């Protein structure tokens, strides 16, 4: 089991989710509206917002926990559909997941994803 955590530009969300819908066995997606900064510290971008002392840019965070066999398809779908080639396109992180528990049934591991 892997968690795929991606930070993308908000206007790319529809394209990314459309591509993810095409993946068989996709178990679920969590989407959050977030803000952050990359290497530029949001200093050189028009869409920066100041909060307190620092600049941030609004982004979307996508989180999915999936079986290992669809990790490559998920990463490809996100990378291809979130890409503009400009700074701030975001990142994809892949993280090992130790355990999953489906609260309704008590199932664990891959059965619970």
Q: Does 91 bind ligand ATP (CB under 6 A)?
A: yes
Site for Mg ion in 42-81 (CB under 5 A): none
70 vs 82, beta carbon nearer ligand ATP: 82
**Whole-number Å distance between alpha carbons of 100 and 21:** 22
Coil, helix or strand for 54?
strand
Figure out which of the listed residues 11, 18, 25, 36 binds ligand ATP, where binding follows CB under 6 A. Answer: 36
Residue 10 found at the interface with ligand ATP (CB under 6 A): no
39 binding ligand ATP? (CB under 6 A): yes
Closest residue by Cα to residue 8 from 61, 77, 84:
61
- Using an 8 Å Cβ cutoff, are 59 and 10 in contact? yes
């Amino acid at each position: 089991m892997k968690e795929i955590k991606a930070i993308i530009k908000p206007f790319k969300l529809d394209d990314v989710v459309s591509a993810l819908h095409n993946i068989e066995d996709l178990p679920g997606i969590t989407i959050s509206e977030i803000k952050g900064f990359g290497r530029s510290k949001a200093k050189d971008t028009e869409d920066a917002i100041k909060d307190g002392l620092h600049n941030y840019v609004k982004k979307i965070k996508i989180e999915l926990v999936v079986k290992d066999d669809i990790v490559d398809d998920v990463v490809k779908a996100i990378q291809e559909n979130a890409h503009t080639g400009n700074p701030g396109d975001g990142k994809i992180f892949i993280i090992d997941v130790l355990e999953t528990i489906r609260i309704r049934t008590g199932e664990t591991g891959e059965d619970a994803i």
